[in-house]
Amino acid sequence: MTDDFDDLRSAMDAATPAPDATRRQANLARALINFDSLQGSAQQARPTSENRATALLTGVTTMLNKLTSRGGLTATTALVASGFLFLTPIGQDLMRDPNPLDAPLKRSFDAETVAAPNNVVTPVEEEIAGITAYAADERMEMPAPSSAIAETDFSALAGPMLLATDMVIMESANTESFANAAANPVKVTADEPVSTFSIDVDTASYSLVRSHLNAGSLPPADAVRVEELINYFPYDYAGPTTGEGPFRPTVSVMPTPWNADTQLVHIAIQGEKPAVDDRPPLNLVFLIDTSGSMAQPDKLPLLKQSFRLMLDNLRAQDQVAIVEYAGSAGEVLVPTAASDRTTILQAINSLGAGGSTNGQGGLAQAYGVAEAMAADGDVSRVILATDGDFNVGLNDPDALKDFIADKRDSGTYLSVLGFGRGNLDDATMQALAQNGNGQAAYIDDLSEAQKVLVDQLSGALFPIANDVKIQVEFNPATVAEYRLIGYETRSLRREDFNNDAVDAGELGAGHSVTAIYEVTPVGSAAILNDPLRYGTSDTVEGSTELGFLKLRYKAPGESQSQLIETPISASLAVTSEAQFAAAIAGFGQLLRGSDYLGDWAYDDAITLANAHRGDDAFGYRTQAVQLMRLAQSLSGE
């Protein structure tokens, strides 16, 4: 710690430039001229028989008399302003860090400062001792007596004041973890023509990125999952016609914004929007984390507000139950018809945070309740709301996953809603949602709750296709290399595509999913891999197609998958929706620090996204552009 500080001191000393001599002279001269004009004469020092206080008074009076009204206004306004800043509570607030959230985020990787919230005082005392020792080391101008006084002053002052003004920043240390894998590399079509992955309708990563940027820091690269950024937005893709199936895939090819020598293959899947009126009844089990860490305003209180929003959108025949889990799990609300708002609201309001988190106990109970509620034709779903801190029960994430995967077969879906920052276990949330036939969303404010739980409620709660897998076979005659953008955590083995036992992502009603490949045509200047000297050089003749797209899905409740196939034609078709998706794909890669973008920067992403914002009825795309601008500023470009 002190090393860093010393480094900083020496770096600072080295970096501090000498003042410019010319400006030094000019500034000194200017100061003297101002001084003299204030004194009312260009003469040398006047005799100063008056004592200092009256002289000062005279000086000030003279100064005020001599000041022009404009200068006087400026000077007095400045004085009042600085007085306001230093002397009033509001002024002090103005000067304080406007963004307390900033502090915990900045400490993302500071594992050693992990401290339980209840011993806040201890590190402070250590710091005081450290500072005193440090003062002695550095031979700072602090004579022994005052040093002793200072020390007592610290202990007297630091405690109450820290609690009063800086408590927000002194919260427990950050233990966040993120789920991600290394970015997909460029693959040589001749070596590996087939690419297989599961769809992903999660949006948590976008909200996390937004939360980071709004707090004034760039997100850690691992927090950025490009496909979740792209899929955060609703797109106006063509949906299926009646009888066609639950969704329609659309494939288009367009020039790559960041590379003139490659193309983007844009695969869009649009789920059908079933008539809302004849949707099946819902059985919802809210599984709510009420551990001590949920007490912060952006956790349990936001969660309660969010569920109130959602409640208004449920129907009389829907059933709601609430299970809370802290040290022990408990059923707060037995299954209740959604029309009984008073009972449900009372139960929601009664939730209070305390204790540690027994995630598994809660999950077991929630699944139990959901199974008991299930009737024919109902959709049962457990909605887990947590800050991700599963610190009691199954400690092994793999065991937790197995447990969830086991329960998945009972037909109950699982949605994971992440709240708050600080110990958000993104990795566990992802694992749970992916294994539990569900989706993960991160709710950082009420408008995100509105999006997830109200605007897109039907998609969030009504699955129309299970285990949706995508497999693309590229044609080596036309495509030399390809790269899947995002979906790193969703890749499947080639043989998994036809194996119905392998789990994959679910598609909700009205959901759209976008996947983008960057492909390098044969003969392009952008080919990264040299041909093999000893490899086979057989070129496949004939087809001009870029590749062949295959999709597998299961209708809800079925175990046999169905297959959809379509060739990818090489003809270019640029749509505005695809262009916006490409802009977001580029943004995500910029945040991840991708090597594949060349000179393409935030500027270009902003221009592209702005040009293809479309109707943007909910303002999501406008917000994305704002985030891009913020990221641009924060990255110093």
Partner 1 sequence: MRMTTTDEDLATQAASGDGAAFGVLLDRHYDRLFAFCFRLTGSRAEAEDLTQDICAALPTKLCSYQARARVTTWLYRVAVNAAHDRRRKQATYARATSGWGTWEIGRVADIAEDAGKSDWLTSAMGTLTDDLRDTLALILDDATHAQAAEVLGVSEGTISWRVSEAKKRLKAHRMQEDVQ
Phi, psi at 25, each rounded to 5°: -60, -45
Residue placing its CB nearer to partner 1 in the complex, 22 or 241 = 22
H-helix or E-strand containing 405?
Answer: helix 397-408
Q: How far is the CB of 507 from partner 1 (least distance, A)?
A: 36
H-helix or E-strand containing 381?
Answer: strand 379-386
d(CA 129, CA 216): 32
Residue placing its CB nearer to partner 1 in the complex, 513 or 624 = 624
By CB under 8 A, how many residues form the interface with partner 1? 88
Touching partner 1, residues 194-233 (CB under 8 A): 216-217
542 touches partner 1 by CB under 8 A: no
- Backbone Cα Rg of the chain: 31
Touching partner 1, residues 159-178 (CB under 8 A): 161-162, 165-166, 169
d(CA 589, CA 225): 9
117 touches partner 1 by CB under 8 A: no
238 touches partner 1 by CB under 8 A: no
Contact call for residues 519 and 546 (beta carbons, < 8 A): yes
Touching partner 1, residues 410-449 (CB under 8 A): none
> What is the strand order of the sheet 247-256 is part of?
187-188, 479-485, 512-521, 259-271, 247-256
Which of 15-23, 178-186, 372-380, 595-603 is the region at the interface with partner 1 (rule: CB under 8 A)?
15-23
Residue placing its CB nearer to partner 1 in the complex, 93 or 495 = 93
84 touches partner 1 by CB under 8 A: no
Touching partner 1, residues 126-155 (CB under 8 A): 127-128, 130-131, 135, 140-142, 146, 150, 153-154
Coil, helix or strand at residue 555: coil
Q: Binding partner 1 by CB under 8 A: which of 84, 88, 93, 113?
A: 113
55 touches partner 1 by CB under 8 A: yes
Q: How far is the CB of 44 from partner 1 (least distance, A)?
A: 6
Q: How far is the CB of 158 from partner 1 (least distance, A)?
A: 4
- Classify residue 210 as exposed, middle or buried by CB count within 10 Å of its CB (0-12, 13-18, 19+): buried
89-93-99 Cα angle (round to 5): 160
d(CA 41, CA 367): 89
d(CA 245, CA 272): 8
Q: Binding partner 1 by CB under 8 A: which of 73, 96, 372, 540?
A: 96
Q: Binding partner 1 by CB under 8 A: which of 120, 158, 295, 427?
A: 158
4 touches partner 1 by CB under 8 A: yes
633 touches partner 1 by CB under 8 A: yes
Which of 119-127, 195-203, 373-381, 439-447 is the region at the interface with partner 1 (rule: CB under 8 A)?
119-127
Pairing of the two strands 247-256 and 547-554: unpaired
Place of tokens 């887990």: 384
Q: How far is the CB of 63 from partner 1 (least distance, A)?
A: 6
d(CA 398, CA 432): 10
8 touches partner 1 by CB under 8 A: yes
Which of 21-29, 191-199, 245-253, 539-547 is the region at the interface with partner 1 (rule: CB under 8 A)?
21-29
Residue placing its CB nearer to partner 1 in the complex, 51 or 537 = 51
- Show the DSSP H helices in 294-393 as ranges: 300-311, 341-349, 359-373
Q: How far is the CB of 536 from partner 1 (least distance, A)?
A: 40
- Classify residue 349 as exposed, middle or buried by CB count within 10 Å of its CB (0-12, 13-18, 19+): exposed
Q: How far is the CB of 411 from partner 1 (least distance, A)?
A: 42
603 touches partner 1 by CB under 8 A: no
Contact call for residues 256 and 615 (beta carbons, < 8 A): no
121 touches partner 1 by CB under 8 A: no
